[in-house]
Structure 1
Amino acid sequence: MSTTDSGTPRRWTHVLAVALAACLLIGVGVSVGLLLSHESTPGTDSAEAGFARDMSEHHAQAVQLSMIAYSRATSSDVRTLASDIALTQQAQIGIMQEWLKAWHLNPTGDKPVMSWMPDGQMSVESGNRMPGMATLEEIDKLRSATGQQVDIQFCQLMLRHHLGGIHMVDGLLAKASDPRVIELAKGMKSAQTGEVQALEMLLKSMNAPTG
């Protein structure tokens, strides 16, 4: 089996490519469906609106972390993964913000983060952070890291970030009724599950713990 420059089997790149392709195709379909649909739209207190608002913020941090890694990581595998995450999640932010505009809703709500989830705010972490989100100190530590520590810290932070995002998607799927939102959420989960596998394999190749 061929390997990349870090010695990581290329199997993870195939898993990631399939997941990203599926997610992008779903995203296009959701965007078109949004423009063509005349069905009733979610209200401001709906799970769909809460998800669009909170996941946009959650995604924004993933883009931030990924751009740090893309510019400073030592491994081409990590840089490629970081680029894919940044591009995909920025595109999804655009889709979710367009939903809110089409629904005539504010991009931010007046309810606490995660209040739309089935378990409410029970999964909110210290500092009012959504599940898996890094602290400011962790982001600063990533920025100041050098060498392979950039790769390791990014993979560890993004692994936790994705697991938190998947938890949010599961909460949305338990409550949502809008087929467009459900379709995109399922695409997110598929892509991030593939990326979780890739991150775990990268950490293993660097002999680094997953947390």
Structure 2
Amino acid sequence: MQIEQIIDNIYPISPISRAKLLTLFKEVKLPKQSVVLRANQVESKLLFIKKGIVRAFVQQAEEEVTFWFGKEGDVVLSMKSYVEGLPAYESVELLEDSELLEVHSESLQKLFAQDVEIANWGRKLAEQELIKTEERLISIQFKTASDRYIELLNDSPDLLQRVQLKHIASYLGITQVSLSRIRSAIR
């Protein structure tokens, strides 16, 4: 996915503002299993996924709990670091060899102060991330694991071909055995 398309999917801006914004992006290619954001560190960058898939997770006791997947067109950031400048709760790992577009928060914040269109783009980005978080919270609180799996099938069927089942089970908050039972029942 091209950066212009990613920008427009968040909030279309004028060609002049887009040109300013584009100067901040640096293309980065990283291999599968790279950790691009780390828990307990202040993360000073945002990453936009041009190609690839990622998972956000937290370490809990002896296991990693996956709570989000990102793919082409998605932004990868720690909202806690981005908004408050505090250490991230989560780590983010690449599940495929990936092409990312990196922008540093500080540079982006400076541009927000100079260009109201870009500031509005940044506001829309934060609003979209808030809505995704709210939808995930509601899903976890009020839907069964089967319902969440069906929702995942409907919203992102490609994830099942691209992500290991252990990560999908973790995302759903169930064991791999329970995931196998759900998958069998749906077939």
The TM tier, using the shorter chain, reads under 0.3
Of Structure 1 and Structure 2, the greater helix share is in: 1
TM-score by length of structure 1 reads 0.26
Of Structure 1 and Structure 2, the greater strand share is in: 2
